[in-house]
């Protein structure tokens, strides 16, 4: 093996890191895996036979799926086609290929004895010249256990040649990380989460590397066993998955890419030049910005939509000195001393409207205390509990909604029996706020908290709660205006849609969230559990019997993925933002 890489001093590496982002990168192709099936740019390779490495799996298209915004490559311990395992190998050959660019994917890799996941590229001309004359670029490979990620190239120079380097992935390789190459006519550089760890010189085809001056296509696969990982397979690790959040290809160009939607747009250069990236409401650590193509300390101007504001943070994870850019601002950051200074940021609804929350106890029937309870003959079960029989209702007088906009109405109930339905309204049914089906909570004191998002005009109303089907113990009702000033139609649409159950059967509200996250699921989660992982893939919270509400107040600010797993093992996932 001929080494193409020299050891750099720390200052040289930092200089290289700056050079990586001096380029204007245009997004030319991506697969975000946001649909329900694998997209048309992918071709599946199928079969067994070792694939040149004495691997043990049979590759099947059926082992690939898209769920919760991720591509899932699933390996199974099963006999099929003469092999003892099945898995996935897919490629863009014949559909998409590129010469040079920034090619990256955000991947959570499996890690067990026998695992060999990979994100890599092959030359378009492999069918005519074969391997290794076509060239191979391995962007990410991981074998067995541990945290090592390998970057490698293979080529022909009077025989097979290769260069490889590796790095240990911080915080564990099984979490999501961004694996990248920066490929030009001069060099190939490997990065993990924006940090370079290796470089190969290919300038002028040095050492026979002219293969890397041609088009390459992308491959993703999850091999089991083979010459590199060996054959001591951990059969208790199956089924297992390689998860891919996205694959993106950028190429150099002087024309900045279009903004990608959101309520603010950040720009690389002053006067709104260079690349432009749109951001929706949320908290963005450095890793979150990098995943969207925004380099560290690289923002020079910003536009903020009406009704929103942006808090720029000097350090990662929303720490250090800050600068707030107000609503409607179109600003070059030089005057404020913030040119090329931002490492993380917050996009949020504009300040100015005070928070509003009101909690109403469901008083005992005999005390009344302003509570109207009509058509009932049962006083219910104890202090501060109101019992509502089938077709009964309670009304709470003179409830003030101080501003027009979206409100969260929560109520804490318990029931012994299933098939229940609660209906809400204002002013004795003149304004219908919707119904909610509630399964049995398993006892009259086994409480569950239910919430709805409603849009209400400012004013004072009587709030009614009606037992359309079944009966309930009612403990309290809480009314909260959503956010500080989320009254614009743009923000209202975002908040309302976040509460709807999507096609995969899972809805989360509010999103972004501060304290309690409410979970709507088309599946009965009784006997199942809720799992929350952070952007690094680490499980930070796991609860069973949440009854539709999850306390996330102790989580740090950031982006998380929630998985709702039923008793039968059915799993749906959804991302949320923790303020």
DSSP readout, 455-471? EE-SEEEEEEEEEEES-
Distance CA 102, CA 26 (A): 9
**Quick one: pLDDT band at residue 290, thresholds 50, 70, 90?**
confident
* DSSP per-residue letters across 60-97: -GGGEEEETTEEEEEEEEEEETTEEEEE-EEE-TTT--
Nearest to 353 by CA among 488, 479, 485, 480: 485
Six-digit token pair at 259?
């903004």
Residue 559 has pLDDT above 70, yes or no: yes
Q: In whole angstroms, give the CA distance from residue 398 to residue 370.
A: 10
Which of 6-10, 111-115, 330-334, 565-569 shows the lowest mean pLDDT across its residues? 6-10
Taking residue 208's Cβ as centre, other Cβ atoms within 10 Å add up to 15
Query: Tell me, which fold does domain 501-578 have in CATH?
Result: Immunoglobulin-like (2.60.40)
Q: How many Å apart are CA 274 and CA 470, to the nearest integer?
A: 61
Count of residues for the chain? 579
The structure tokens listed for 171 are 């915080």
Rounded CA gap, 559 and 579, in Å? 9
- Model confidence at 155, in pLDDT bands (50, 70, 90)? very high
CA distance 62 to 152: 29
Residue with tokens 């650590």: 285
Q: What angle do CA 452, 457, 462 make, to 5 degrees?
A: 70
**Residue 371: band (very low, low, confident or very high) from pLDDT cuts 50, 70, 90:** very low
DSSP SS3 for 396: strand
Domains 10-252 and 264-349 share a fold: no
Rounded to whole angstroms, the Cα distance separating 397 from 456 reads 16
Summary count for the chain: helices (H), strands (E): 4, 42
pLDDT at 430 over 80: no
pTM: 0.47
Contacts of 525 (CB under 8 A, 6+ apart): 519, 546, 564, 565, 566, 567
Cα separation, 194 vs 474, whole angstroms: 52
CATH number given to 10-252: 2.60.120.200
At residue 524, the pLDDT reads 66
The secondary structure of 211-231, three-state, reads: HHHCCEEEEEEEEECECCCEC
Domain 357-481 is found in CATH 2.60.120.260: yes
Return the structure tokens found at 112. Answer: 């067990």
What does the pLDDT read at residue 358? Answer: 65
CA atoms within 13 A on the CB side of 393: 18
pLDDT at 87: 97
* Catalytic site includes residue 45: no
Cβ atoms of 506 and 500 closer than 8 Å: no
pLDDT bracket for residue 190 (50, 70, 90):
very high
User: What torsion, rounded to 10 degrees, do the Cα atoms 372, 450, 508, 40 define?
Assistant: -100
Q: Per-residue pLDDT averaged across 78-100, rounded? A: 94
Task: Check if 55 is active-site.
Answer: no
Beta-carbon contacts of 234 under 8 Å, excluding residues fewer than 6 positions away, are 112, 113, 114
Which carries the bigger pLDDT value, residue 300 or residue 405?
Answer: 300
In 471-538, which residue ranges form alpha helices assigned H by DSSP? 489-499
- pLDDT at position 354 is 43
Q: What is the DSSP string of 540-579?
A: EEEEE--TTEEE-TTSPSEEEEEEEE-TT--EEEEEEEE-
- What sign does the dihedral 351-352-353-359 (CA atoms) show? positive
Return the higher-pLDDT residue of 85 and 6.
85
The answer to whether 540 and 578 have CB atoms below 8 angstroms apart is no
Question: For residue 155, how many other CB atoms are within 10 A of its CB?
Answer: 25
| pLDDT (mean) for 87-91 | 97
Query: Phi/psi of residue 12, each to 5°?
Result: -65, -40
Which pLDDT does position 479 carry in this prediction? Answer: 79
pLDDT band at 277 (very low <50, low <70, confident <90, very high): confident
Question: Domains of the chain: which residue ranges?
Answer: 10-252, 264-349, 357-481, 501-578
Cα separation, 332 vs 299, in Å, equals 9
Quote the tokens at residue 317.
Answer: 């994870």
Residue 351: both structure tokens together: 């300040």
| Residue 168 in this model has a pLDDT that exceeds 50 | yes
Token reading at 370:
């302003």
Strands (E), 357-419: 357-361, 371-374, 386-388, 393-401, 405-415
Write down the catalytic residue from 55, 57, 104, 141.
141
- Write down the pLDDT at residue 355: 47
CB burial string 177-202: b at 16+ within 10 A, e below: bbbbbbbeeebbbbbbbbebbbbbeb
* Residues 57-72, mean pLDDT to the nearest whole number: 94
Per-residue pLDDT, 71: 96
pLDDT category of residue 44 using cuts at 50, 70 and 90: very high
CA-based angle 429:431:434, to the nearest 5?
85
CA–CA dist 167, 149 (Å, integer): 5
Return d(Cα 43, Cα 255) in angstroms, integer. Answer: 31
CATH 2.60.20.10 given to domain 264-349: yes
Q: Which of 55, 57, 104, 136 is catalytic?
A: 136
Which sign, positive or negative, has the C-alpha torsion 361, 362, 364, 369?
Answer: positive
Q: Is 438 exposed, middle or buried (0-12, 13-18, 19+ CB in 10 A)?
A: buried
| pLDDT tens digit sequence for 500-525 | 344 556 777 677 777 777 776 666 66
């Amino acid at each position: 093996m001929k080494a193409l890489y020299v050891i750099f001093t720390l200052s040289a590496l930092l200089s290289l890191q700056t050079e990586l982002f001096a380029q204007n990168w245009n997004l030319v192709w991506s697969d975000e895996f946001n649909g329900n099936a694998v997209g048309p740019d992918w071709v599946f390779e199928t079969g067994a036979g070792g694939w040149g490495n004495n691997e043990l799996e049979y590759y099947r298209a059926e082992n690939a799926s898209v769920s919760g915004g991720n591509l899932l490559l699933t390996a199974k311990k099963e006999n099929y086609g003469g092999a003892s395992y099945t898995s996935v190998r897919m490629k863009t050959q014949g559909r998409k290929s590129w010469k040079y660019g920034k090619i990256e994917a955000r991947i959570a890799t499996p890690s067990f004895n026998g695992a060999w996941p990979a994100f890599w590229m092959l030359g378009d001309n492999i069918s005519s010249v074969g391997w290794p004359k076509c060239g191979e670029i391995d962007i990410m490979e991981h074998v067995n256990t541990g945290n090592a990620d390998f970057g490698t190239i293979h080529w022909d120079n009077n025989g097979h040649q290769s260069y490889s380097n590796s790095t240990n992935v911080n915080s564990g390789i099984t979490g999501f990380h961004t694996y990248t190459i920066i490929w030009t006519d001069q060099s190939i550089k490997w990065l993990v989460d924006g940090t370079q760890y290796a470089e190969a010189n290919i300038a002028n085809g040095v050492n026979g590397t002219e293969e890397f001056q041609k088009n390459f296509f992308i491959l993703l696969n999850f091999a089991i066993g083979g010459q590199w990982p060996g054959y001591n397979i951990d059969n208790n690790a199956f089924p297992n998955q390689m998860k891919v959040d996205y694959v993106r290809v950028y190429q150099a160009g002087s024309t900045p890419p279009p903004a990608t939607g959101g309520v603010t747009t950040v720009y690389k250069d002053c006067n709104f030049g260079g690349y432009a990236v749109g951001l929706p409401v949320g908290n963005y650590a450095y890793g979150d910005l990098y995943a969207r193509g925004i380099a560290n300390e690289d923002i020079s101007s910003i536009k903020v939509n009406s009704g929103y504001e942006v808090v720029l943070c000097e350090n990662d994870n929303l720490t250090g000195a800050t600068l707030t850019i107000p609503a409607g601002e179109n600003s070059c950051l030089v005057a404020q001393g913030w040119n090329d200074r931002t490492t993380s940021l917050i996009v949020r609804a504009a300040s100015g409207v005070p928070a509003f929350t009101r909690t109403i106890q469901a008083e005992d029937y005999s005390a009344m205390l302003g509570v109207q309870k009509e058509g009932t003959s049962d006083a219910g079960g104890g202090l501060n509990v109101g019992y509502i029989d089938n077709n009964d209702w309670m009304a709470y007088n003179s409830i003030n909604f101080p501003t027009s906009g979206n409100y969260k109405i929560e109520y804490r109930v318990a029931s012994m029996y299933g098939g229940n339905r609660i209906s809400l309204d204002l002013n004795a049914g003149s304004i219908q706020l919707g119904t909610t089906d509630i399964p049995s909570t398993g006892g009259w004191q086994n409480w569950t908290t239910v919430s709805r998002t409603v849009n209400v005009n400012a004013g004072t109303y009587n709030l009614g709660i009606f037992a359309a089907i079944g009966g309930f113990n009612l403990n309290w009702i809480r009314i909260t205006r959503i956010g500080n000033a989320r009254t614009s139609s743009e923000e209202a649409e975002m908040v309302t849609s976040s509460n709807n159950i999507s096609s995969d059967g899972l809805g989360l509200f509010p999103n972004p969230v501060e304290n309690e996250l409410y979970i709507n699921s088309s599946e009965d989660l009784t006997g199942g559990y809720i799992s929350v992982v952070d952007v690094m893939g680490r499980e930070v919270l796991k609860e069973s019997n949440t009854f539709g509400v999850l306390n996330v107040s102790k989580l740090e600010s950031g982006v998380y993925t929630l998985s709702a797993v039923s008793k039968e093992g059915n799993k749906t996932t959804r991302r949320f933002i923790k303020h």
